[in-house]
A and B are shown apart, each in its own frame.
Chain A
Amino acid sequence: MADETIPRRRFLTGAAVAGAGLAAPAAAQTAAQTATPAPSAPEPPAYTTLSANEAAFFTAAADTFIPADELTPRGSDLGIVVFIDRQLGGAWGGGAKYYRGGPFPKGKPEQGPQSHLTPREMFAAGVDAVNAWTQKTYQKDFDRLDAAQRDTVLKALEAGKADLAGADPRTFFESLYQIVMEGFFADPIHGGNKGKASWAMLGFPGLPALYADKIDKWRGKAYVVPPLSIQDFS
């Protein structure tokens, strides 16, 4: 059970030690605690907008959706929490291209989300609400649960069977699922998908995607190459 609480400890240790100006030992310590090391040397996490609680929550969620196995390291080691931090701290998280004129009555699902909240605010509220619910049911925050319990909680959210103080658990679940999947599959330039791990898993070649001279040659045969990303051409 001990390793299940690593995400939070890892974050808190990293933050505290980094604050004291001792980043290198923190990195070493983190590496020692990490069950499946990331392909590159791990760095202490640094976030632009996530709080310690939020980082721990997203780490636990990313590692539940994307566990370490023979295919890829776990989600947090792929940078998915860094991805989420950048997304929520950036224009999209701040509500770019999102219409915020009131009033905000509850509509039908087919009318789309009618929230006042920006994605940043929605995730902040959602993390609090899920933790409040797991405190009630397990007396622990979500990130302190073991893997099986986290899976159970996510399934309850997905099925709309968690009590989030009036908020729709399915809406929060789908947003959480979507942003973790984006972090897993998006170009690594956004902070996730470290080492192009998900692209290698699928067999997606990434860039430059110029196939005019390949499409006939590879017809009916899997075109498998080490994937390349935006950074590789920059």
Chain B
Amino acid sequence: MVTKLKEVDAVMVGMGWTGSIMARELTKAGLNVVGLERGGDMKPSENFALPGIRDELRFSARLDMIQDASRETLTFRHRPSEHALPMRRMGSFLPGDGVGGAANHWGGQHWRYLPSDHILKTHLTNRYGAKAVPDDMTIADWSMTYDELEPFYDRFDKLCGVSGKAGNLRGQKIEGGNVFEGARASDYPTPPLKRSLSGDMFAKAAGELGYHPFPQPVSNASRPYTNSEGLTLGACQYCGFCERAGCEANAKAGPLVCVVPKLRADPKFELRTRAWVSRLIYDKPGKKVTGVLYTDTRTGEEYEQPAGLVVLSAYVFGNVGLMLYSGIGEPYDPSTGRGTVGKNYCYQLSRMGINFFFEDKDFNPFMGSPGMAMLIDDFNGDNFDHSGLGFLGGVKMSCGSGTGSPIGYHPVPPGTPRWGSEWKRATKKWYQHAANISIGGSNYANRNNFLDLDPTYKDALGRPLLRLTYNFVENDYKLVEYCIGKAEQVARAMKPTILGNPRVRRGDYDIVPYQSTHNTGGTIMGANPKESVVNRYLQSWDADNLFVMGASTFPQQTAYNPTGPVGALAYWAAEAITKQYLKSPGALVKA
């Protein structure tokens, strides 16, 4: 028995970054908005409070804030010919749960994509010729240039209080910032974070090699900051517990700090938690969605929420799954290349790098944040000449002080036993003296990497699990081999006492160890409905009143963390809705 509720102007499916931003922009435009969130509510003052938030076991090892795989996970196989099996425990990536979404537990690394990333296919074919992009590399241009998105990147920066140093202010290159970044209209809202000794040693060595070191832009406010909503962020305390946990200092930007307090006070907005959307109600002939169906997970009761406008603002997998469960658009078929939903799933080549040890340096590894790092972008994107290299794409390379929490961090030199007194002595000897250069690589689309529905396994609502078919390909392996060599070159120039073994991803993709929560694609943006799921305003080609947010709209993934453009695109789509769509509902781009 489904209870049909009173129609509202707009409904958000998921209350992370994009749902919160969109809800805020639409209520400001006068709409009545309901935010449906699968998980529970959270309040930083209560849920992210000292001392309990400093619990590595609870948050990092037992994944307290992460999606519950017992209710909803996905199945995985390497290639279409194989049998997919469930990811029974979250590992390779860690989507969030509850109001605020993954932004409650993110590290805060906050990027704008390179101007060339926005026009990737055009850029590469212009520079290297039409044959440079292999046939099975199904990359595409974004639907807007960097310059078009810049005002929205800027708005999101000012919501988050991003710390950093501009390297390109209105076209003027600034030494010490990232000289490869696109032109910014304004500098970062707060100055860069303090620097670690390891980061400075890396920056010095990289600079001497002719590279261009700069401080990581990160959504950890370096000093108290009042954001574009009039809400105040605290200053980063360099606790080293950012990742997988909340921030007690309110310094790490997230919806709960930066937007949701405004929504809570707004009578035009209603938040419903533990409201798990099972599908959208799709009127295919009418080319619209009429609302959503959801289950109250406290009671098991089902509700239909009619809405004039539906915004898919879940994580990548939630967005793609809901399109498929609702029968919107044509599922992608890799054998024919037809269909678009689930196409161009991409990931990253993450957690690679090289450890090193300095007998005479003390690094205090526990003081820091994942964003307290120095980087070089000299081998990122197409910032270097790929002629003759046999691959496309690149890495960001960084060195800093992220965390010293001991379950996960007790580095020892190669050849140390794994247990016993000798191992204990090595952990004691090297804990203060180790550092790491890490590289994270782009991942360009391949025709055989995609998402669809699993024929066997079901989630807690009885729906098929999403099925991930994914593997690294030749381009990825070559990219990694080339770039790890560059990391090793910088590491050697730092003259460590002991150089560790390079860590690279050589074999098949392994879904068990954590790599990054930077999954992209599946509902990609594009110029026409044959090749994409949404148009340049993130409006569905198949339902005019459906907008799809987030990284599921990226045609491929860069080496950067995706949150910057995720937030920028939410503002971009919100402006299209409020300035164009609401005045004249219908397709904003002619198919």
B136-144, B237-245, B346-354 - the one binding chain A: B237-245
- CB contacts under 8 Å to B, within A171-214, are 177, 181-182, 185-187, 189-190, 198-199, 201-212, 214
A contacts with B, residue count (CB < 8 A)? 64
Of B62, B196, B404, the most chain A CB neighbours within 10 A belong to B62
B512 partner, pick from A105, A112, A158, beta carbons under 8 A? A112
Q: Is B87's CB under 8 angstroms from A99's CB?
A: yes
**Contact at A203–B432, with CB atoms within 8 Å?**
yes
Which of B51, B52, B57, B197 touches A219 (beta carbons < 8 Å)? Answer: B197
Once A103-B456, A187-B56, A230-B55 are accepted as A-B contacts, the answer to whether A98 and B88 lie under 8 Å apart by CB is: yes
Q: How far is the CB of A100 from chain B (nearest CB, A)?
A: 7
A202: which B residues are within 8 A, CB to CB? 406, 410, 427-428, 431
Closest chain B residue to A110 by CB distance? B510
Inter-chain contact A111/B367, CB cutoff 8 Å: no
- What is the minimal beta-carbon distance from B4 to any residue of chain A, in angstroms? 31
The one of A67, A96, A219 in contact with B421, judged by C-beta atoms closer than 8 angstroms, is A67
Contact A111 B85 (CB under 8 A): yes
A201 and B406 CA atoms in complex are apart in Å by 11
Q: How far is the CA of A190 from the CA of B64 in the complex (A)?
A: 15
**Cβ distance A113 to chain B, nearest Cβ, rounded Å:** 6
- A218 at the B interface (CB under 8 A): yes
Closest approach, in angstroms, between the C-beta of A133 and any C-beta of chain B? 20
A114 interface residue (CB < 8 Å to B)? yes
In the assembled complex, how far is the CB of residue B163 from the closest CB belonging to chain A, in whole angstroms? 13
| A138 CB–B CB distance under 8 Å | no
Interface string of B510-532 (1 = CB under 8 A from A): 11100000000000000000000
Q: Which residues of A contact B194 (CB under 8 A)?
A: 212, 215-216
Give every chain B residue within 8 A of A215 (Cβ-Cβ): 194, 196, 238, 364, 367-368
A111 touches B76 (CB 8 A): yes
Interface residues of B in 256-277 (CB under 8 A from A): none
CB distance B424 to A99 under 8 Å? no
Q: CA of A214 to CA of B236 in the docked complex: distance in angstroms? A: 12
Query: For the complex, would chain A's binding face be called helix, strand, loop or mixed by DSSP majority?
Result: loop
Name which of A12-20, A28-36, A124-132, A220-228 contacts chain B: A220-228
CB–CB B85/A105 < 8 A = yes
Q: Flag whether A89 is at the interface (Cβ < 8 A).
A: no
A234 sits at the interface (CB 8 A): yes
In the bound complex, do residue A67 and residue B420 qualify as a contact, i.e. CB atoms below 8 Å apart? yes
Max chain B Cβ within 10 angstroms of own Cβ: one of A112, A151, A185, A214: A112
Across the interface, which residues of A come within 8 angstroms of B70, CB to CB? 95-100
Partner of B88, one of A72, A114, A230: A114
Q: Are B51 and A233 in contact (CB under 8 A)?
A: yes
Bound Cα distance from A219 to B237, whole angstroms: 15
Task: Enumerate chain B residues within 8 angstroms of A232, measured Cβ to Cβ.
Answer: 51
Residues of A within 8 A of B85 (CB): 105, 107, 111-112, 114
Check if B473 is an interface residue, CB within 8 A of chain A.
no
A71 CB–B CB distance under 8 Å: yes
Given known contacts A99-B86, A215-B367, A222-B362, A204 and B239 CB-to-CB distance under 8 angstroms: no
A residues 61-87 near B (Cβ < 8 Å) are: 64-67, 69, 71-72
Within 8 Å CB of B495, what residues of A? none
Quick check: A208 and B50 within 8 Å, CB to CB? yes
B61 to chain A minimum Cβ distance, whole angstroms, is: 6
| Cβ contacts under 8 Å, B361 to chain A | 220
Give the residues from 131 to 164 in chain B that come closer than 8 angstroms, CB to CB, to chain A. Answer: none
A166 on the B face (CB < 8 A): no
Assess A71 versus B87: contact at CB under 8 Å? Given A207-B54, A223-B364. Answer: no
Neighbouring A residues of B240 by C-beta, 8 Å: 209, 211
Residue numbers in B under 8 Å from A101 (CB-CB):
86, 457-458
B89 in the interface, Cβ–Cβ < 8 Å? yes
- Indicate which residue in A105, A154, A223 contacts B367 across the interface (CB closer than 8 Å): A223
Could you tell me if B406 and A204 are in contact, using CB atoms closer than 8 angstroms?
A: yes
Are B57 and A112 touching (Cβ within 8 A)? Answer: no
Asked if residues A98 and B89 are in contact (CB atoms below 8 Å), the reply is: yes
A186 touches B431 (CB 8 A): no
Smallest Cβ distance from B200 to chain A, in angstroms? 9
Whether B410 lies near A71 (C-beta < 8 A) is no
CB pair A203 B431 closer than 8 Å:
yes
A181, A201, A212, most chain B CB atoms within 10 A: A212
Q: Taking CB as reference atom, which chain B residue is nearest A219?
A: B197
Instruction: Report B328-381 residues with CB < 8 Å from chain A CB.
Output: 361-362, 364, 366-368
Chain A residues with CB under 8 Å of B63's CB are 97
Q: What string of 1s and 0s marks CB contacts (under 8 Å) between A104-119 and chain B?
A: 0101111111110000
Contact of A182 with B419 in the complex, beta carbons under 8 Å: no
Residues of B within 8 A of A99 (CB): 69-70, 73, 86-89
Chain A residue, CB-CB nearest to B432: A222
A214-B367 CB under 8 A given contacts A103-B456, A112-B91, A222-B362:
yes
- Digit string of A157-179 for contact with B (CB within 8 Å is 1, else 0)? 01000000000000000000100
Collect the chain B residues with CB atoms within 8 Å of residue A222's CB: 362, 364, 432
Contact in complex: B512, A110 (CB < 8 Å): yes
- Provide the residues of chain A in CB contact with B425, threshold 8 Å: 71
With A187-B54, A209-B54 already in contact, 12 other A-B pairs whose C-beta atoms are closer than 8 Å: A71-B421, A95-B70, A96-B68, A97-B68, A103-B456, A110-B78, A110-B508, A186-B57, A187-B56, A189-B55, A208-B239, A211-B240
A-B pairs with beta carbons under 8 Å apart, 15 shown: A71-B421, A71-B428, A95-B70, A97-B66, A98-B69, A111-B511, A115-B88, A177-B419, A185-B407, A204-B431, A207-B51, A210-B239, A215-B364, A220-B197, A222-B364
Residues of A within 8 A of B (CB): 64-67, 69, 71-72, 92, 95-101, 103, 105, 107-115, 151, 154, 158, 177, 181-182, 185-187, 189-190, 198-199, 201-212, 214-216, 218-223, 230, 232-234
B residues within 8 Å of A by Cβ? 50-52, 54-57, 61-63, 66, 68-70, 73, 76-78, 83-91, 194, 196-197, 235-241, 361-362, 364, 366-368, 404-407, 410, 418-421, 424-425, 427-428, 431-432, 456-458, 507-512
